[in-house]
A and B are shown apart, each in its own frame.
Chain A
């Protein structure tokens, strides 16, 4: 990872900017159901330990190139993204196919409620973090 960041520094003009954006594994994602007004949160979805470890390794690589004087931290932030799914089955399929997510969320309702909301839209609300770094002249 540090090698790749070294290459990024090489191809960037001095003063050029590196944007590092990725899902924020430090906070859980939320499973939500769309209501006529707003969303109802019904569960949370944690990130797998493997992905958290990968994210930490990425953080360390960034810290290393900053320490080595290749880049200077400019700005960082986080925003939330709602990933829409046509129904609950589609959301379940998405989560089951991703190693990134491990936590089980359950929508606990009676049969009548389930039937009433069968065609509701469901979303996964997850955090995305980003950081801007400036390439320094070596």
Chain B
């Protein structure tokens, strides 16, 4: 488990990973960049000119990351604070084809066959 780099007389230890409290959706900044994630899934053709739903969008990290490629992006999340942040981020980014709404995955407020792509990124 450990790499002992040098012979030691006095050894100091740092413990990492103590069982701790849960902080929901720590920070989307710690997730892979949207384009990097998209590249792994199959590249930009996956979203290009498509109608995209980001389910569990949080602060809109991924939705805004793919907005410039997609025809339209909808983001939905049960957390109103996260949706507030997503809307602020969208305004800041000047994204016009992105809409965010509060809602649950069990009752999506969209008609049948609305989207070409649904993304569950770190959601399920």
Would you call A70 an interface residue if the criterion is a C-beta within 8 Å of the partner chain's C-beta atoms? no
Name the CB-closest residue of B to A45: B17
Number of A-B contacts (CB under 8 A): 177
Q: How many chain A residues touch B (Cβ–Cβ < 8 Å)?
A: 60
* A43-B2, A58-B124, A108-B2 as given contacts; A16 in contact with B116, CB under 8 Å: yes
Q: State how many angstroms separate the Cβ of B10 from the closest Cβ of chain A.
A: 6
Would you call B108 an interface residue if the criterion is a C-beta within 8 Å of the partner chain's C-beta atoms? yes
* A61-B124, A92-B16, A108-B2 as given contacts; A98 in contact with B26, CB under 8 Å: yes
Query: In the complex the two chains form, what is the Cα distance from A132 to B55 in whole Å?
Result: 15
B 30-67 contacts with A by CB, 8 A: 30-32, 37, 40-42, 46, 53, 55
Query: In the complex the two chains form, what is the Cα distance from A113 to B5 in whole Å?
Result: 9
Residues in A with CB closer than 8 Å to B16 are 31, 43, 45, 88, 91-92, 95, 104-107
A 71-99 contacts with B by CB, 8 A: 75, 77, 79, 81, 83, 88, 91-92, 94-99
Ordered by A's residue number, 11 sampled pairs between the chains whose C-beta atoms are within 8 Å are A11-B111, A11-B114, A12-B118, A17-B118, A20-B124, A81-B31, A96-B20, A100-B22, A106-B15, A109-B5, A109-B12
- Interfacial residues, chain B to chain A (CB-CB below 8 A): 1-6, 8-23, 26, 30-32, 37, 40-42, 46, 53, 55, 105-108, 110-124
